[in-house]
Amino acid sequence: MISTVADLTKWARLVGTGALISPGLQAERLKWDRLGDNDDNWHYTFGLEENSGWIGHNGQIPGYFTFEVYNPELDATIVIAMNSDKKVNGEQGINVLLRDISKILFPNNPVNVPVIK
């Protein structure tokens, strides 16, 4: 899928609020179980990940990454589109960028993307 930052901003909010599905299905989708890499700060299920209150998803094609997250408590969205697939200190650069930018934008509530190398 090819998209724009504006469209991804809309999509992140719609997915994070569950606006496109029933409240019951959204509640079911946000039930996080300890499976695989899931821990207290990071959850992944049903095509969504949750990092310390931020709900979203990332995507990639060769040479291009996106990461979009929405925080229902803050009613805030962060969308990053990056046309590079280079690693930074052994991990995907988009993860480093999201962590760093979210600390600037929301110092009391940053996105705690796990360090995966």
For residue 48, what pLDDT is reported?
81
Roughly how many angstroms between the first and final C-alpha of the chain, as a whole number? 26
For residue 105, what pLDDT is reported?
97
**Span 39-68, mean pLDDT?**
81
For residue 70, what pLDDT is reported?
96
Mean pLDDT estimate for the chain: 86
- Contacts by 82-89, CB closer than 8 A, 24 or more apart: 85/60, 89/117
Reported confidence tier of residue 106, pLDDT bands at 50, 70, 90: very high
**Span 102-111, mean pLDDT?**
96
For residue 12, what pLDDT is reported?
93
Record the pTM. Answer: 0.85
Residues in Cβ contact with 7 at an 8 Å cutoff, skipping those fewer than 6 apart: none
Q: Which of 58, 50, 102, 94 lies closest to 76, judged by CA?
A: 102
For residue 34, what pLDDT is reported?
59
**Span 48-53, mean pLDDT?**
84
For residues 44 and 50, what is the distance between their CA atoms, to the nearest angstrom? 6
For residue 67, what pLDDT is reported?
92
For residue 43, what pLDDT is reported?
66
Q: Where are the beta strands (DSSP E) in the chain?
A: 42-45, 48-51, 54-61, 64-71, 76-82, 87-88, 91-92
Cα–Cα–Cα angle for 79, 84, 88, nearest 5°?
90
